Structure 1
Amino acid sequence: MTATQILLLGDLILDVPDADHWLSGLAPTLRAADLVIGHLEVPHTTSTEEVPGDVPAPGADPAHLDALARAGVSAVSMAGNHMMDCGDQGLADTMAGLDRNHIAHAGAGPDLATARAPRLIPGGERTIALLSYNCVGPELSWAGEDKPGCAYVRILPEDGGPSRPQANLVTIDPASQALMEADIAAAKGKADLVVVALHKGITHRPAALAPYERPLSAAAIAAGADVVVGHHAHIARGIEIIDGRPVFHGLGNGCVVTHALSPAQDHPARAEWVERRKRMFGFEPDPAYPLSPFHPEAVNGMIGQILWHEDGRIETGLLPIWFEPPGRPVMAGEKAGDVVAYIRRIGEAAGLPPLQWHSKDGVSFSLG
């Protein structure tokens, strides 16, 4: 039996036309894998409802979920700060669209119990469990006993206020961490491999990890997670190996093409955020990237790669990707070495333990 190849994608936002085109630079690689897990950042719905609590993202065309399936995406985490931006209907439409395309999903649902439940995914004769948690708020997006929303881990801000994406989030709420740990332990009893997706971290800032990120990831591994994958920052982060288990602290963007971050728009809250985030995080987007106007270093991206061997051994690696103007992701090709050097450098800058990097074929890299 050959190893099962699992690929891990960062944030997915496809709210401009021709989703197949924007995914086409990655699709052949994704379709060749046994399982592809991405993070669905925004609802896919025709609902125009806007829920307060964060700068609202517009709903993407539900048909773009069909494009994700055609590109090879087989599962998505859903717990994030924008999943409830179009209200309960937006979430319901998104889940229906994923089900229509046979894309497994975890982390959101009509109530908290459903949102916290692991999604069990067949992997040949073995089973993979996917869990997903929003660590950044806003609290209005969180599911309740009878309230639709996302699973979450409460992170307490320095100012003592509610959890919200742009707060200085520093301390893990112990009770909330304990619930996550119980979920992971329960999933471990049902599956052979447990993947935990955490929507976490500081947006748009190279290298930096918030104080809670490494402890929370380590707690997930200690509870039984085999793989921890982070997203939300819209820029890549470093990689850490804990007890032989990988933690991708931030995959950066998987495929993000949107008009919602353009300064040329008539939505006041979004236009204000476009300018405010540049001041907050000290960057000016490259004008060549109007559909993906992130930090200039965000062009360095990766697809996480897990080779899950028959004996249970996990081999960790990555596939470097690059974002070509105006925001389309492609396999890095001749830029692969530069991308890996960047990811290695930001990991060291964040104080992560050094890793050994091995180029297998100039395209994929293993580490340990």
Structure 2
Amino acid sequence: MDKDSESGRHPVQPGVGYDLVGSIATNVADGFTMIAVGDLIVTRALTKSQDSAFGAIVKILHEADVTFGNMETNIFDIRSFKGSPQAEYGGAYHVSLPEVGPDLKAMGFNIVSLANNHLFDWGVEGMRETSQALDRCGIVHAGAGENLAQAGAARFLETARGRVALVSSASTFTPLSRAADPAGEAPGRAGLNSLRLARSIVVPPEMLESLRRIRNALPGFRPGRDDPDQLVLAGTAYKAGDKACYSYEADHSDVAGILRNVRQGKQFADFCIVTNHGHEPGNWSQEPPDYEHAFARRLIDAGADAYVGHGSHQLRGIEIYKGRPIFYSLGNFIMDDLRTPVGADMFAAQGKDPRLDTDAEVTAAEMGGGYETDPGFSDPVFYESVVAVSRFEENQLAELRLIPIELGHAKRLANRGVPRLASAPQAKVILERLQTLSQPFGTKIAIENEVGVIRLRPNSL
């Protein structure tokens, strides 16, 4: 162990100016609390409900200095909206009523991410209206903007115990939603802060050889220098490995930009949250993609105090790295998906006729899946998650509490997707699953009174 590790300090890293611009260390008052949840797919105001079970959740959300969620829907009034549903969309057209903005504020949310595959469901007009709706109700948001510099920039929230920065990106996004900066005479492009991934399919050597023979037999193939351990067939990269799986490599320029924005965010704040929205390798997977472990750690090294992954719509493991939490996925928090209108493309995709079928019937068909590779959201696992409550003392994570919630999988569509505290038996199932998923990261989660608990001694890491 080096001298810096023994003293509790992080070793100086290239590109991080400790003496001139401040340390990457956490700098919040004792008792600082961050609540993080997963995806917010909410279409209507929920705090007006008389549901006391949801009220108990709202009470928890208000007990933090910063309460974060991923805003995965657009907010606008369809009666006056000037945009249109896009030909490229994130799997469904997500749209919320204008009252959702103030309602999220009433729930306790004060900071959200907009970088996700649904940002451009309704084009740049939907993105802009959503940003304006959040601005009007005082919710800080990051991950989207009029160009890449704006989309990638940290956004800041003032709290009584410290200033919080948020940097957000998305590795799953529609191609036309990726923001760009100006270049020469070409103007910048509005959109999201992207983390591009190059995907390869790993197969055993004998399978790779079979693919090679197929490639060589196809018309148009021109022999040349050949790598025995990888090839490209019909635009898909394959490489040899022990077992069949997906592998990802993050774009170096995107990673560099995100790391820079994290450094700057921390230089101007006391606490920095970094989030990424990704469905890789698929919603079916309870394990994060192979690139994400190293990526999340690099973000912590650059100054992030917490990394929050979302997008897979189900829980993934938790890691504690240098005394900071890494959530590989917090699943769904609200999935109140009463989406309307759904757009002509969704009717066609689900084999429905807008003259005969309703928006709800299209939504139900899309959420039910029905294909081996697309189970939709029929599995109850998509309706089980946690509220993660991180409390910091002496500028280190002292305790992480994981409060199990369930979203009413068995309820009818109109009542499904609103969180409530899980019953004791269900809480046990959720937490035991999370224990198993976190074991590969060396994380031990105790279960106390139906709540998961991770305790760390200050200055112990």
Q: Distance in 1 between matches of 2:199 and 2:308?
A: 22
* 8 Å CA contact 2:65, 2:161 repeated in 1: no
Q: Could you tell me which residue of structure 1 aligns to residue 271 of structure 2? A: 193
Counterparts in 2 of 1:60-79, with a 5 A limit?
60-79=96-115
Check the 8 A contact 1:66/1:101 in 2, yes or no.
yes
1:339 alignment partner in structure 2? 430
Maintained 8 Å contact 1:304/1:317: yes
Checking the alignment, whether the CA contact within 8 Å between 1:45 and 1:59 is kept in structure 2 is yes
User: Structure 1's 216 and 20: CA in aligned 2 closer, same or farther, altered over 3 A?
Assistant: farther
Quote the residue 1:288 is aligned against. Answer: none
Residues 269 and 220 of structure 1: CA distance in aligned 2, closer, same or farther (over 3 Å): farther
**65 and 312 in structure 1: CA distance in 2 versus 1, 3 angstrom threshold:** same
Aligned partner of 2:71 among 40, 55, 58: 40
In structure 2, relative to structure 1, the CA distance for the partners of 1:53 and 1:74 (3 Å cut) is same
Aligned equivalent of 1:279: 371
Distance 1:56 1:251, change over 3 A: same
Deviates more, 1:198-207 or 1:129-138: 198-207
Instruction: Provide, for residues 72-93 of structure 1, a one-character-per-residue CA deviation record: whole Å limited to 9, x for no partner.
Output: 1111011101011111111111
* 194-203 vs 324-333, greater mean Cα deviation: 324-333
- The two structures have a TM-score, normalised by structure 2, of 0.69
Q: 1:201, CA displacement in angstroms?
A: 3.4
Q: State how far apart, in whole Å, the 2-side matches of 1:95 and 1:282 are.
A: 31
1:213 to 292, 298, 311: 292
Tell me which residue corresponds to 2:417. Answer: 327
Q: Which among 190, 193, 197 is matched to residue 148 of structure 1? A: 190
Tell me which structure has the larger Cα radius of gyration: 2
Q: Is the CA contact 2:314–2:329 (under 8 Å) kept in the aligned structure 1?
A: yes
State the SS of the aligned residue for 1:179: helix
CA contact (8 A) 1:25 1:329 kept: no
| Equivalent residue, structure 2, for 1:228 | 307
1:89 and 2:181 are equivalent in the alignment: no
Whether the 8 Å contact between 2:45 and 2:103 is mirrored in structure 1 is no
CA-CA distance at 1:17 after TM superposition: 6.6
1:263-278 → structure 2 map (5 Å cutoff): 267-269=346-348, 271=350, 274=366, 277-278=369-370
CA distance in 2, matches of 1:125, 1:5: 9
Give the Cα separation in 1 of the matches to 2:367 and 2:452.
37
Specify which of 248, 256, 278 is matched with residue 178 of structure 1.
256
Contact 2:265 2:272 in 1 (8 A): yes
**Cross-structure match for 1:8:** 36
Alignment of 1:122-141 (within 5 A): 122-141=158-177
Select which of 143, 156, 162 maps to 1:120: 156
Note the C-alpha offset of 1:336.
Answer: 2.5
| CA deviation profile, 1:218-249 (whole Å, cap 9, x unmatched) | 22122221100000111111111122221100
1-structure distance, mates of 2:349, 2:111: 29
Contact 1:133–1:152 (Cα < 8 Å) also in 2: yes
Q: Residues 134-187 of structure 1, C-alpha deviation per residue, up to 9 Å, x if partnerless? A: 11122211112222111111111338869xxxxx67111112111111111111
Task: Give unmatched runs, 5+ long, in structure 2.
Answer: 1-28, 182-187, 202-231, 237-245, 352-364, 457-461
Counterpart in the other structure of 2:199: 157
Shift of 1:210: 1.6
CA contact (8 A) 1:30 1:72 kept: yes
Give distance in 1, aligned partners of 2:274 and 2:331.
16
Instruction: Tell me the secondary structure at the aligned position of residue 234 of structure 1.
Output: coil
Q: TM-score, normalised by structure 1?
A: 0.86
Which consecutive unaligned segments of at least 5 residues does structure 1 have?
163-167, 286-292
Matched position secondary structure for 1:158: strand
Q: Deviations over 1:115-142 (max 9, x none)?
A: 1111111122521111100111222111
Offset of residue 337 of structure 1: 2.5
Range with greater deviation from structure 2 (245-254 or 354-363): 354-363
Q: What is the letter of the counterpart of residue 313 of structure 1?
A: Q
RMSD: 2.8
1:307 to 358, 381, 391: 391
Task: Determine helix, strand or coil for the equivalent of 1:267.
Answer: helix
* Native 8 Å contact 2:44 2:100 kept in 1: no
AA in 2 matched with 1:343: L
Query: Using the alignment, how far apart are the partners of 2:58 and 2:396 within structure 1?
Result: 27
Is the contact made by 2:445 and 2:452 (CA closer than 8 Å) also made in structure 1?
A: no
Displaced runs of 4+ in structure 1, greater than 6 A?
159-162
Larger CA deviation: 55-64 vs 173-182: 55-64
More deviation in 227-236 or 52-61?
52-61
Letter in 2 for 1:302: V
1:109, distance to aligned residue in structure 2 (A): 1.4
